[in-house]
Chains A and B, each alone.
Chain A
Amino acid sequence: MEKDQCSVPDENLNENSGSSRRDFLKKSTFLSAIALTPVSLVTAAEKEMDEKLAAVFEKVPLKLEINGVKHALSVEPRVTLLDLLREQLQLTGTKKGCDHGQCGACTVHVNGKRQNSCLTLAVMHDGKKVTTIEGLANGADLHPMQEAFIKHDGFQCGYCTPGQIMSAVACIREGHANSETEIREYMSGNICRCGAYPNIVNAITEVKNGGQKV
């Protein structure tokens, strides 16, 4: 099978793996610690310095525009877009429901397209524009989809709601909201355990038929 452009040549695997780099860092930290520090502090400094260095070396620069705000970040490559939003940027409107791309609670827009943010690494989106539920309203004016969800009671506990709304907006933009059947099909990646589905379909239908810009 042909390898895609993302795959790493096998011979580099060991060299690039986290553990071997960490071993190297440990040694180098240890050496510099011995050179500069009284012996009694060596052990403590070794561990702390190692972690600081690891933190620096294991991160990569990342530029993202989130809800119109430009962010110059430094993140570990293993951080998902979802965890970056929730744990590092305090944008907790985007929800974690399964962490496996199976429930849709983490749906955001990346360059205008819906995306399960748990299923993608933040570093894969360098230079892109991300919209989360916090960025959907125009200041104090709610987005028509947000208004419609309130009016039609398209939620109960509210936990899947941000994902449903982000998906719903995209569903209309994609041109997949032309009938209730089509809406149901194209919204099926967003699970609502409280069972607000009929109300959500009503909300989307109303926004679609209202003809407002979404």
Chain B
Amino acid sequence: MSLMEKQNFFDSKAVDGLDRVDGRLKVTGAARYSAEFPIPKLTYGVLVTSTVAGGKIQSIDAKKAEHAPGVLAVISHFNAPQIPGYSEGSNPAKGQTTKGQPLRVFSDDTIYFYGQPVALVVADTLERAQFAAGLVQAQYQKASFQTDFDTNVTAADFPSQAKNRNSNGDYLRGEADAYKNAPVKIEAEYVIPTEVHNPMELQSIIAVWDTADKVTVYDKTQSLKGAQGTIAQAFKIPVENVQVVATYVGGAFGNALRTWPHEIAAVMAAQKVGRPVKVVISREQMFTMVGYRPYTWQKVGLGATADGKLVGISHEAISQTSTYEEFTEGTVNVSKFLYACPNVNTRYKILPLNVSTPTWMRGPGEASGAFALDCAMDELAYQLNLDPIELRLRNHADTDPERNLPWSSKYLKECYQEAADRIGWFKRNPKPRSMKTEDGMLIGYGMGTGSFSAGRSAATASIQMSADGTYTIQCATTDIGPGTATAMVQIASDVLQVPVEKIKFQLGNSSFPKAPSQGGSSTVSTVGSAVTAVCISLKNKLGELAIGQGEAASVKPADLTFANGQISSKDQSIKIAYADVLKKHSLPNLEVTEESKSGEERRKYSFYSFSVHFVEVNVHPATGQVKVKRVVSCADAGKIINHKTAGSQVIGGAIGGIGMALMEEAVIDNRFGRYVNNNLADYHVPVHADIPAIDAVFIDKKDPYINPMGSKGVGEISLIGMAAAVANAVFHATGKRVRDLPITPDKLV
């Protein structure tokens, strides 16, 4: 039975809207996150960080700390055990960086950025470790450093990887800068400041050496296999000797996709003190140790004919990275495919500064890029005196203009229509600063488009069926919040035709069958396909056993029907419950493992999810305070497995986009290279009072090619395009175009 035979996937709404299978554990406090495992003889590690942004560590006076009660070790580069993987020039804390090497914790005296770990104090209680960490005195030989983007921007260069291909990474379709000669054109610069993921759970790890060459880590990660491989490589032990447990992850949004220095430090410390070590980094340290969305400058030029057909798009971006590692992302990608346009050129550069390395943050570079592109589209629409939706419809890409392939599925036009109707788009007066509430607040409507690659890679799942009719599926994926286990239980229930209560989905352990990182909106697509495959495989096995050697042996597998937990043949010679098949053959259980991956279809079609965000804001005319009053987000994410949890994801993404548009900005004091708002009181994220009811809508139509479920991803597109929608709404309300985020009141008065 081929996977694609399962055409009727989720046509039944029987399990849609299922409550989260782990909901009870989460509301009772019983769900265990990585810092919460009770480990005997546990010790606590607290990191001491640099107070300069560049230079060398001259000395570290650890005497007082070492003599403080309960202290087991003060580890710095002066006494740290060698990390074997460090000395071999390999990449012991790898991530998808194009050049440079990840920060090698405690390996030498170089300071690259303010807040870099310089020592780890290990003590027998948290309080003792914290107290002793405060006693460590480091002396530095200061060197000059650069953290100011604007004054250093001329030093920006092409990523090494692009330079190695002799292409600089520039993209050109048709003629470069064609917009400049168009009848109608706009050219504008946009800035997105550094934003920090700031999941509510602090990055945490407990490292336990079980034997001299075997370690277990309870680690906050989105990538079990990634963490496993990285730790194995760093400590030169076999991969199977590293067990990574991440049963629950308290949010991550990208910052747990790679293995960071504090994780290596904890594993190293546990080895040194001969006891388990727990390291929970502080909220302040979350700003410098686990990545962030990089400060990005962009310039967009759009040119169109008088009737609103795009003639040229030019999109240029410069993003900051660290001095020791190149981080790149797809900031300008969105301009290559989102709208039909014969002439497109993009350029992407990076600027090394004395900061820590950025990483992917929800929507990653595409979210930064879509902010610029879709604000520019709004500006062009006003220039053309055309409705912003009409402009987008006139330039709708019916096929992928970048790869010259048909879309696997695309219902973007339906998204525009549905969301516009819901918010009452066409009832507004499009003239800027033309609408007011009764109490004098300026009303604005804005919209933005989002799109992100709908990925699918390889994953393996196992299923064990017990004779009591229960099923346990295992896969080494994680759940950072979307409700992975819930969706997988639904998929298995649908394929197996057994009730959800009979099925358990276990994740969060590297010893389970292989899955990729939970990132890039591809978990349902990738892991869901493996779950489908393993369930089909189990059914086939049950079918073979049911046919058996007896009188029913003439029945062909294709003649079997699987429904309501029963196998039956067309001629009714077989009619047996799944569980009875096992009993009949005296099998205590039946176990199957299957891998599933994408195939040829990825060469024939272009796979993307799409979204549209509409926003209504109120702006106080005197103070410039912006209040988001209504949001409608409509997503084309293929078939929706669970409208409740997917809806929550869309709502959450929209809220992330509101934060991006109106609040979030990590501010660095360039005199010291230090963040001045590295806490949740000063780094503003949306709170209850900032957020209205949000209408999350799905087109909910299957993608015929992506995977057996027909599901595309929803995580990124729920945020991508949202900041543009808010910024465009603020323009409509006030007549003022704010192109540097966040749109704080001072920029409107």
Q: How far is it, in angstroms, between the C-alpha of A192 and the C-alpha of B656 when the chains are bound?
A: 10
CA distance A122 to B35 in the complex (A): 20
Binds A, one of B196-204, B447-455, B521-529: B196-204
Contact A193 B198 (CB under 8 A): yes
- With A157-B249, A188-B687, A193-B253 known as contacts, the answer to whether A103 contacts B200 (CB < 8 A) is yes
A/B pair count, beta carbons within 8 Å: 189
CA distance A198 to B689 in the complex (A): 10
Query: With A153-B20, A158-B22, A197-B655 in contact, do A98 and B691 touch (Cβ < 8 Å)?
Result: no
Given contacts A150-B20, A156-B483, contact A93 B29 (CB under 8 A): yes
Q: Which residues of A contact B19 (CB under 8 A)?
A: 150-151, 153
Interface string of B667-701 (1 = CB under 8 A from A): 00000000000011100011111011110000000
- Name A198's contact: one of B125, B649, B651 (CB within 8 Å): B651
> Is B27 an interface residue, CB under 8 A from the partner?
yes
Docked-complex contact B30 and A93, CB < 8 angstroms: yes
Picked from A90, A99, A165, A196, the residue with its CB within 8 Å of the CB of B283 is A99
Q: Tell me which residues across on chain B come within 8 A of A206, comparing CB atoms.
A: none
**Complexed CA–CA distance, A160 and B652 (Å):** 14
The chain B residue sitting closest to A152, CB to CB, is B644
Query: How does the 8 Å CB contact mask read for B106-146 relative to A, with 1 for contact and 0 for none?
Result: 00000000000000000001110001000000000000000
Which residues of the other chain, A, contact B693 by a CB distance below 8 angstroms?
180, 198, 201
**Could you say which residues of chain A place their CB within 8 Å of the CB of B252?**
157
A25 to B232, CA, bound (A): 44
Interchain CB contact under 8 A, B199 and A193: yes
Those of B466-511 within 8 Å (CB) of chain A: 479-483
Separation in Å of the A4 CB from the closest CB of chain B?
24
Contact present for B651 and A196 (CB under 8 Å): yes
Is there an interface contact between B689 and A185, defined as CB atoms closer than 8 Å?
yes
Chain B residue at minimum C-beta to C-beta distance from A50: B69
CB under 8 Å from chain A, chain B span 23-65 = 23-33, 35-36, 38
Residues of B within 8 A of A54 (CB): 69
Residues of A within 8 A of B688 (CB): 183-185, 187-188, 190, 197, 200-201
Assembled-state Cα–Cα distance A87/B280 (Å): 12
User: Which of A100, A149, A199 lies in contact with B681, CB distance below 8 A?
Assistant: A100
Point out the residues of chain A lying under 8 angstroms from B614, CB to CB: none
Partner of A194, one of B481, B680, B692: B481
Bound form: Cα–Cα A197–B648 in Å: 10
A157 touches B201 (CB 8 A): yes
- Considering only CB atoms, which chain A residue lies closest to B71 in the complex? A51
Which B residues lie within 8 Å of A72 (CB)? none
Judged by a CB distance under 8 angstroms, whether A137 is at the interface is yes
Query: For the complex, is A120 an interface residue (Cβ under 8 Å from B)?
Result: no
Nearest CB to that of B718 among chain A residues?
A195
Q: Is the CB of A92 within 8 A of B689?
A: no
Decide: A162 and B685 in contact? CB cutoff 8 A: no
Could you tell me the distance between the alpha carbons of A97 and B681 in the complex, rounded to whole angstroms?
12
**Known: A195-B653, A197-B688, A199-B648. Contact between A97 and B202, CB under 8 A?**
yes
For A76, the chain B residues whose CB sits under 8 A away are 127
- Minimum-distance CB pairs A-B, first 5: A93-B29, A159-B250, A195-B655, A195-B652, A158-B26
21 contacts between A and B (CB under 8 A): A51-B69, A83-B126, A87-B125, A95-B201, A96-B202, A102-B283, A103-B283, A105-B200, A132-B29, A137-B28, A142-B28, A151-B19, A153-B644, A155-B23, A157-B480, A158-B22, A159-B251, A180-B693, A193-B251, A194-B648, A197-B691
Which positions in A face B, CB cutoff 8 Å?
Answer: 22, 50-51, 54-55, 58, 76, 78-79, 83, 86-87, 90-100, 102-103, 105, 132-134, 136-137, 142, 146, 149-151, 153, 155-162, 165, 180, 183-185, 187-201
Residue numbers of B with Cβ under 8 A of A are: 19-20, 22-33, 35-36, 38, 69-70, 125-127, 131, 197-202, 248-253, 280, 282-283, 479-483, 644-645, 647-649, 651-656, 679-681, 685-689, 691-694
